[in-house]
Structure 1
Amino acid sequence: MYYAILAYHEEDIVESWSEEEDAALMSELLEINDRMVARRSLGPAVRLGATQNAVTLRGKGAGLVIDGPFAETKEQLLGFYVVDFPTIEGAIEAARELRRANPTAVYEIRPVSLYVPGASLPYGEGN
């Protein structure tokens, strides 16, 4: 089963880190990535760009493009991982491992379905 681990943090705090602090955190996170790759449980992982560079498309018809992310929250979605575990408990443990490296972040774990027209899912129908 695929799960998204969504990484939330206060963007201003993340942007205040020095290059060295950011590199140290990324090094720890990449070690976790390597372990998940070795277990064959890591899919795409993404570090998103700044929310100030985001736009949101909403509304009827062609829609209206507005500046920034739509959600007004203290924490912003700054990245995500797609992981593959038989149960949500495995995804939760992966998020706990990520949190040990970045304890001030918040991680949301959510089941996802991959949508690729004509492609079958690895675990069969309904997963």
Structure 2
Amino acid sequence: MKYALLINEDHANYSTPESWEAIIKRHMAFSEKHGAAIVGGEGLENPETATTLKRAGEQVDFHDGPFAEAREQLGGFYLVEAASLDEAMAIAKDIPMAGDGAVEIRPVHSVPE
């Protein structure tokens, strides 16, 4: 089964080139360790670059910035293939972060072909 591992953390932790380089090295090591399970994934640009669509019935509005005004924001994700939720959780425990944060582990809804 596929699981999305959604990484939420404070982007302020990456304010210097050194902090950015350090986390990239840690993600490379994570990818080497779990490469067989990783199906895909990407890092996202800073939350300030986001545009959010909000819908209320027929009304559609676009806003600059992320969906939630919060310290932690979605910063990236991995898509992994795991035999169980327990296996996906074990992989998620190894995801590097520069500070406090959360990884949401969500099964991917499969659509029959």
- Whichever of the two has the greater Rg, that structure is 1
Tell me how far apart the structure 2 counterparts of residues 46 and 68 of structure 1 sit (CA, whole Å): 19
Aligned Cα root-mean-square deviation (Å): 1.9
Task: Compare the two structures and name the one with the higher strand fraction.
Answer: 2
Tell me how far apart the structure 2 counterparts of residues 114 and 51 of structure 1 sit (CA, whole Å): 29
Tell me how far apart the structure 2 counterparts of residues 108 and 3 of structure 1 sit (CA, whole Å): 10
Q: CA deviation at 1:62?
A: 6.9
Q: What residue number does 1:66 align with? A: 63
Following TM superposition, the consecutive aligned residue runs of length 4 or more in structure 1 with deviations greater than 3 angstroms are: none
Q: 1:9 to 1:41 in 2, by over 3 A?
A: same
Task: Compare the two structures and name the one with the higher helix fraction.
Answer: 1
Q: TM-score, normalised by structure 1?
A: 0.76
Q: Is the 8 A contact 2:3 2:81 kept in 1?
A: yes
**AA at the equivalent of 2:2:** Y
2:97 to 69, 88, 102: 102
Q: What residue number does 1:53 align with? A: 49
% of aligned pairs identical? Answer: 28
Matched ranges for 1:7-18 at <5 A:
7-14=7-14, 16=15, 18=16
Gaps of 5+ in 2: none
Q: CA deviation at 1:72?
A: 2.4
1:97 aligned counterpart, secondary structure? coil
Tell me how far apart the structure 2 counterparts of residues 103 and 24 of structure 1 sit (CA, whole Å): 9
Aligned residues: 111
Q: TM-score, normalised by structure 2?
A: 0.84
Q: What residue number does 2:27 align with? A: 29
Q: 1:36 to 1:109 in 2, by over 3 A?
A: same
Gaps of 5+ in 1: 121-127
Q: CA deviation at 1:54?
A: 0.7
Q: CA deviation at 1:35?
A: 2.3
Tell me how far apart the structure 2 counterparts of residues 20 and 13 of structure 1 sit (CA, whole Å): 11
Cα offsets for 1:77-122 (capped at 9, x unmatched): 1111111101011111111111xx326232111111255xxx64xx
Q: 1:23 to 1:114 in 2, by over 3 A?
A: farther
**AA at the equivalent of 1:83:** V
